[in-house]
Amino acid sequence: MLPIDAGKRNTAKVEIGFGTHMGSVRRENEDRYFVAPEFGVFAVADGMGGHEEGALASAIVVEALGSIGAAVSAPDLLARLEDRVLRANAKLCAAGRTRGGVVGSTLAVLLTFDDRFACVWSGDSRIYLLRDGGLTQLSRDHTEARDLVEKGILTVEEARVWPRRNVITRALGARPEPELELEHGLLVSGDTFVICTDGLTAHVEDAEIRSIGERLAPQGACDALIALTLERGASDNVTVVIMRSGTITTTSDQTVVLPAMLPDGGEP
């Protein structure tokens, strides 16, 4: 089990924003997102393996998250997530065998339980923390480009234009045992987390994410980030979930599992 300290009951209120868009180039949205403030779970998934397979993969992942339920402690919440990831990974591997190829998906999840948070991910979807005016990328991209930067073979600037910069090294469905990475810490009042697929970070710089996330409420920030991506060509699907510790301002605190949105931004 991935280690995390125990916390109290999951009673913290949050303000949330979320949105997804097919982009300007792709014919289908292979992204999905999952928002369950009552369980302390916020996630994005970016499917891979082709149009139909990618959409299927991300749908399998968020469907598995939908049964996570209410945890009694932070370790219990993490254990519930791991169980759902294992279930999703098994389904993805089975789908890949049936279809004769990889049916996979990235996953980036923020878990919160009282004054604790944990970030769990596989692939290149990201999780950022905006705190005290500074933006920190909590997740580490599981890509060939990032590995080469860490080995000193490529600079950060070279990695941005490297031909294989989008090749990922981890994803659910790629192997019989999923490879996850974890970061965790204490949740501070006012913390803002940005969870996004690489469709956003391909077009929007970290400094812009920080500025928009700091100036706007979560839903307004999501809308602005997606709009900025579209202005710059949106070569991929783009999905953003933002959670700010504070008071829930949505009309319902029920679990939200939404399908991809239509090209004009409306729901199907």
Of the candidates 266, 217, 264, 220, which has an alpha carbon nearest to the alpha carbon of residue 244? 217
Decide if 27 contacts 263 (C-beta within 8 A). no
Q: What is the pLDDT of residue 12?
A: 54
Residues of the chain with pLDDT under 50: 1-11, 247-268
DSSP string, 70-81: --SSHHHHHHHH
The answer to whether the beta carbons of residues 84 and 64 sit under 8 Å apart is yes
Q: Where are the domains of the chain?
A: 14-140+169-252
pLDDT of residue 51: 58
Fold of 14-140+169-252: Phosphatase 2c; domain 1 (3.60.40)
Rounded Cα distance between 6 and 217, Å, is 30
Q: What is the pTM of this model?
A: 0.86
Nearest 5°: phi and psi at 13? -95, 150
Residue with tokens 């990831």: 85
